[in-house]
Structure 1
């Protein structure tokens, strides 16, 4: 594995919710959640859903930021997401715009939590009424992270189809696209309650 791929593989992102009560860590394609002591039982379903949606956006932004920082460190040429976007034209720009417009929605296995994204930049979380009474903190985290894993899997499937549509890659069903650094795309569910994903240049 080259230096760039190795650095990206080891990239860790840590973010907290706007109220400071929930911490998320994205490490080696796994996402974990942790509530500060006593915080879980202090929320209503709607308030917690809002905090988690904002936290998802922060993790996404942190991943992009870290990605381009690593690119700049390794190549010696600082670059930002905005600069990359401005350089796109023609088919690449149309693909990027279609990618950002991808809408995906999935729910946890037991239906307590629903997660929706548009292009991995916009996030919305819905929590079914009664979930916080019915689920322990550990059960809720397991449901939430599993819902995220299912969403990322569905997103990457749609993204694969979109790339095939724009670039005529003729990919076999279930194949995973490499990104421009040779890193495999797709998601890698981890054992237990931790799941995560990667999306090439614009990975989660």
Structure 2
């Protein structure tokens, strides 16, 4: 999934980019990859995900679609804090352009992330209970682990207080296919091949 924003950005800058995916695209399996109600079910479809046994003997799944893990994960959207990048720099000597990191986060967030919906009857009780326990002040939804926030962001559509089972999943293929771009569509220098393997 992370390669898609990179491919799109390079193509947008005028670079010729070939994006190769061994699997298909979500539109071939809309019922299992678009709505939140299908979360978990898609793992049974071998065209969407494959079982993998890790070296530690854990059974997990890897996606087989253009949008990578964003088509099969739980939809939680999290951004690392500045402290994380500071730690990587101090511990391992890694160098990051923090302005570019923040601009990248903002661009992806604007395309596919929204605050998670909370039904009114639960949200008021949750916030009230936590503030009574001195978890305050409540600062609202946050894209990172933030003191005072108990509501994160998600790649599932936020329909307010309804929490419909048909809420749409904004997976990273939206970025590659340019569904939210102005004008819509991928850059002309981005070529996408699905159901291909490189040997």
Higher relative contact order (CA 8 A, sep 6+): 2
Structure in which a larger fraction of residues adopt helix: 1
Q: Find the structure with the greater CA-based Rg.
A: 2
Structure in which a larger fraction of residues adopt strand: 1
Name the TM-score, length of structure 2 as normaliser: 0.25
Name the TM-score, length of structure 1 as normaliser: 0.24
